[in-house]
Amino acid sequence: MIWDNPAWFWALLLIPLILWMQYRYYNKKQIPYLTYSDTSDLDYLPGNWRSYGVFAGFGLQVVAVLLIILALARPQAERTYQERQVEGIDIMLVIDISSSMLAEDMQPNRLLAVKEVASRFIDRRESDRIGIVVFARESFTLVPPTLDYNLLQNQLEHVDLGMVRDGTAIGMGLATAVNRLRNSDAESRVIILLTDGENNAGEIDPLTAGELAATFGLRVYTIGASTDARTAPYPVHDPIRGTRYHEIRVEIDEEMMRTIAERTGGRYFRATDNESLEQVYREIDELERTAFEELTYQEFTDLYRGLLGWGMALLLLSFVCDRMVFRTGLS
């Protein structure tokens, strides 16, 4: 509760003055007109109910004045509420699921590391529609842009090799994401493309897909995920000897990835291990923040009417007590 006219509280200082004046007035009326040598016999005279209401009228007046002053200070009940307007971002995660993603230069391998980091990235987002595209030799939309983060997490968990034929069609993966976002009405539309190799399949060249993204105003962040060494350990499962490893060449077309990012207003990142991959997604998370606008509303309800009504009622009651009930005339 707040007070719209708190200066009226100074008027409360009148109440002690009124009490003092009433005390003086009452003592003045106690001057005796007749004197007796002994009044002890009068102590046993029974009083009546009017004798107990000598100060009733005055007490009611003091309370009435208090209530009227509080009403003049205009108490108000304050109600504050906020309306949050969100300008969400549409984000497509484009993930390479070619066989080379089994390389173990990231732990436990590239694909599982990417899935784990992407999952945490989804957890950090609020009010953004996120979708997932996977690609190898072909590409397809695993989850269209959605706010159902539980669905995203569930589908991301089931991403694995073998969902499409093997290969690396970077252009097809990017073009599929562009097609999903080109008609979006979101203020900001972002594609995060991750791969560990060079484009070697698909009907659409990656640079052409990048030009399409730029045409539709989409920003593309590209990530090259592999060690910075020339080779990476790759597991081979032998039914006789068990799992053994051989080295595969690390081939990332960084120039192409950087060009796509620059033409669309994004950035290219190189993730060489789990920590740097996590850092890349965190940096993108910071670059693409959701815009929030908070509007604060305040409503005020006047409460003075009740106080004023009770104050006037008590004033009337005090007059009735003084002039008609107790007939004290003290006030």
What is the mean predicted confidence (pLDDT) over 150-165? 95
Q: Determine what percent of the chain is predicted with pLDDT higher than 70.
A: 81
Model pLDDT for residues 110-142, shown as the tens digit of each residue: 999 999 999 999 999 888 899 999 999 999 999
Q: How many Å apart are CA 132 and CA 134, to the nearest integer?
A: 7
**Judgement on whether residues 165 and 44 belong to the same structural domain of the protein:** no
The predicted-structure confidence for 69-99, as pLDDT tens digits, reads as follows 888 888 887 776 666 566 678 999 999 999 9
d(CA 76, CA 305): 11
Contact 173, 200 (CB under 8 A): no
pLDDT in tens, 26-72: 666 555 555 666 666 656 656 555 555 566 767 777 888 888 888 88
Residue 287 has what pLDDT?
79
Enclosing domain of residue 14: 2-80+299-325
User: What's residue 137's pLDDT?
Assistant: 96
Assess if residue 246 is contained within a domain. Answer: yes
pLDDT at residue 60, as a whole number? 79
Question: What is the side-by-side strand order in the sheet with 89-96?
Answer: 139-146, 129-135, 89-96, 188-195, 219-225, 268-271
Only one residue has tokens 């000897």, namely 241
Looking at the structure of the chain, the number of domains it has is 2
**HSE of 120 in the Cβ direction (CA atoms, 13 Å)?**
15
Is residue 330 over pLDDT 50? Answer: no
- CA distance linking residue 226 with residue 198, whole number of Å: 12
What pLDDT sits at residue 11?
A: 81
Assess if residue 307 is contained within a domain.
yes
- Mean pLDDT over all residues of the chain? 85
Q: Mean pLDDT throughout 164-193?
A: 94
- Same domain as 50, residue 131: no
Query: In CATH, what number is assigned to the domain containing residue 204?
Result: 3.40.50.410
296 pLDDT more than 90:
no
More confident residue, 312 or 208: 208
> How far out from the chain centre does Cα 1 lie?
26
Task: Name the pLDDT band for 9 (thresholds 50, 70, 90).
Answer: confident
Residues 56 and 119 in one domain: no
pTM of the model: 0.65
Same domain (yes/no): 111, 139: yes
Please check whether residues 56 and 126 belong to one and the same domain: no
Q: Is the peptide bond before 108 cis (omega within 30 degrees of 0)?
A: yes
Tell me: do 260 and 308 sit in the same domain: no
Residues 248 and 123 in one domain: yes
- Give the N- to C-terminal CA distance of the chain in Å, as an integer: 34
Sign of CA dihedral 104, 105, 106, 110: negative
| Amino acid (one-letter) located at 56 | A
